[in-house]
């Protein structure tokens, strides 16, 4: 009798051990199947459990998010035709993708096809500050890690790609083409990052706002990208309570833009910091305002000319060979620090030309004279 009880107890323990992960985990268990999405009605929970998802050409229902979320870890999504998002004034986002857990992974292969946001139907020169309600961001990465690659993001109504991964993530081979919005497009940031362990490499951005805007995060690499028409590569605006650290901006080209390389913190922000920022081997040209700009005076989207002292900033390093060329009337360098800029900033890797020299109120810059 004792032996029967022992065996029964062991069997129950084994059964419990196998059941526990399914009972207590939010991780979706993927199915070895291929789902095909060719209309909004195909975006079902059953189809999203397949570990291969193929998207064919179709028009997404206006006013609805194309949500490929809660994906099983290891899922591959293939874009096999252009997806056009129907026009409607609403908040968005238009497209959302993410794993079912923070540590899950997925791969999105765009295969050179387009996600078309029909931005021209929304653009009115006001962006997200008023006028027509514009769905944004156009693409939102929300959970997990992995890759998002080889797709054209065409005519985003406002912000294009929001990166909010929770595990190591790479964005590559993306073309964000908002060139048609040169007169009325506004707030069309290409990449907004609020995440850590991110690599954004080998992309092309034509827009009317920041090519990159890092709002928070650490261990971020922005490399070998081409930016034109917008406001340049930015860290910030850094708000209260936000931290950005260990960022490497390398091998990028910024052309025909308002600014080249920029760090901006919000006036009055506290308990925030920007640290260990490195610029290496970037080429900047055709700049109308500032080649390099670091300022701690941003308020309501514009500089005030008076810095505040609540955000720690530094060190900022220029290594390798960074060349910055600005237009006549523009300034090569503008640095406006509050009292919490810190460390010696080695700028020996910076060469500037054109326009005016500019100015700096931070005295601990070595290897370069403003």
Does an H or E element contain 15, and which?
A: helix 2-24
Please give the backbone phi and psi of residue 274, each rounded to the nearest 5 degrees, phi first.
-130, 120
Contact 257, 227 (CB under 8 A): yes
Determine the Cα–Cα distance for residues 305 and 299; give it in Å rounded to an integer: 10
104 closest CA partner among 146, 50, 163: 146
Q: Which of 22, 136, 186, 231 is catalytic?
A: 231
Please give the backbone phi and psi of residue 10, each rounded to the nearest 5 degrees, phi first.
-65, -40
28 closest CA partner among 144, 149, 148: 144
Does the active-site annotation cover 186?
A: no
What residues form DSSP beta bridges with 368?
none
Which residues have CB under 8 Å from 264's CB, separation 6+? Answer: 234, 235, 236, 237, 238, 293, 294, 295, 296, 298, 303
Contact 162, 195 (CB under 8 A): no
Catalytic residues: 231
């Amino acid at each position: 009798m004792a032996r029967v009880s022992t065996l029964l107890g062991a069997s129950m323990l084994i059964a419990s051990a196998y059941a526990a992960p399914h009972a207590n985990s939010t991780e979706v268990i993927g199915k070895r199947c291929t789902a095909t999405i060719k209309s909004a009605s195909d975006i079902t929970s059953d189809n999203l459990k397949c570990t291969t998802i193929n998207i064919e050409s179709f028009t997404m229902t206006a006013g609805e998010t194309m949500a490929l979320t809660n994906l099983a870890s290891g899922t591959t999504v293939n874009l096999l035709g252009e997806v056009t998002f129907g026009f409607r004034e609403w908040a968005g986002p238009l497209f959302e993708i993410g794993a079912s857990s923070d540590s899950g992974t997925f791969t999105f292969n765009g295969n050179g096809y387009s996600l078309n946001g029909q931005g021209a139907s929304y653009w009115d020169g006001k962006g997200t500050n008023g006028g027509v309600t514009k769905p944004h961001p156009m693409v939102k990465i929300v959970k997990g890690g992995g890759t998002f690659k080889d797709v054209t993001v065409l005519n985003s109504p406002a912000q294009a790609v929001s990166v909010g991964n929770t595990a190591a993530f790479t964005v590559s081979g993306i073309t964000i083409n908002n060139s048609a919005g040169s007169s009325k497009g506004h707030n069309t940031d290409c990449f907004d990052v609020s995440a850590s362990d991110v690599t954004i490499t080998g992309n092309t951005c034509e827009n009317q706002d920041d090519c990159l805007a890092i709002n928070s995060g650490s261990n971020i690499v922005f490399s070998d990208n081409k930016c034109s028409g917008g406001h340049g590569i930015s860290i910030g605006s850094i708000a209260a309570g936000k931290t950005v650290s260990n960022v490497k901006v390398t091998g990028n080209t910024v052309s025909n833009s308002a600014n080249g390389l920029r760090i901006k913190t919000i006036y009055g922000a506290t308990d925030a910091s920007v640290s260990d920022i490195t610029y290496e081997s970037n080429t900047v040209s055709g700049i109308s305002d500032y080649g390099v700009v670091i300022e701690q005076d941003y308020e309501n989207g514009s500089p005030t000319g008076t810095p505040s002292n609540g955000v720690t900033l530094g060190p900022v390093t220029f290594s390798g060979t960074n060349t910055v060329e600005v237009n006549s009337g523009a300034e090569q360098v503008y640095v406006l620090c509050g009292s919490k800029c810190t460390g010696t900033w080695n700028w020996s890797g910076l060469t500037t030309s054109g326009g005016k020299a500019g100015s700096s109120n931070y005295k601990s810059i070595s290897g370069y004279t403003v």
